[in-house]
Amino acid sequence: MIDKKAIEEHIRGILIALGDDPDREGLAETPERVARMYEEVFEGMNYSNHEIAEMFSKTFESSDDSSAVVVRDIEIFSYCEHHLALMYDVKVNVAYIPKGRVIGLSKIARICDMAAKRLQLQERLGSDIADIIAEATGSDDVGVVISGTHSCMTARGIKNTSAQTITHTMRGKFRTDYSLQNLISR
């Protein structure tokens, strides 16, 4: 579980290390605010992929196992584990081929959101989402495409504000069937 008191103490220390007065008006409540924000935006760190799959595993019978279920442009954000920098304007496309059962479409977006609420790498985020979708649906045929902007590239270092990172995670039939890949690729 997330230790909000420890976060508050460390944020206070960071403010001091930055040369500011954590007791001044405007900053006095900042450590508590940041701790509450971290508890929210890092909620996914409290759960394993298996636990997230169990949370969103309610399925419904499907009579058509020949076509893919595709949800495009799921908007999420996450934080890069290298710089604790925001990954923003992130869109996720997810597809899977049902194996007799389907999950609710909103569950796909919820899975993406919960997997993103961790310190992440975009490549691992795609893999986490694919693993969770596979477990929740019982299908090994899963594809995930993510595109996003990373503030560790846009706000510091190279400061390239137009760069987008695109990752593809293909499992099962999505690895070799280009028509399936085209369903979710940008």
For the question of residue 82 being annotated catalytic, the response is yes
Look at the alpha carbons of 131, 135, 139, 144 in this order and tell me if their dihedral is positive or negative: negative
Q: Which of 32, 83, 164, 181 is catalytic?
A: 83
Q: Which of 10, 32, 43, 152 is catalytic?
A: 152
Q: Which of 8, 112, 122, 135 is catalytic?
A: 122
Q: Which two tokens stand for residue 58?
A: 């309610």
Q: How far apart are CA 137 and CA 91, in angstroms?
A: 21
Q: Which of 54, 75, 81, 123 is catalytic?
A: 81
Q: Which two tokens stand for residue 141?
A: 């045929």
Distance (Å) of CA 19 to CA 47, 102, 155: 36, 54, 21
For the question of residue 152 being annotated catalytic, the response is yes
For the question of residue 168 being annotated catalytic, the response is no
Please say whether the beta carbons of 99 and 28 come within 8 A.
Answer: no
For the question of residue 81 being annotated catalytic, the response is yes
For the question of residue 122 being annotated catalytic, the response is yes
Q: Which of 10, 80, 168, 181 is catalytic?
A: 80
For the question of residue 80 being annotated catalytic, the response is yes
Q: Which of 29, 50, 82, 123 is catalytic?
A: 82
Active site residues per annotation: 80-83, 122, 150, 152
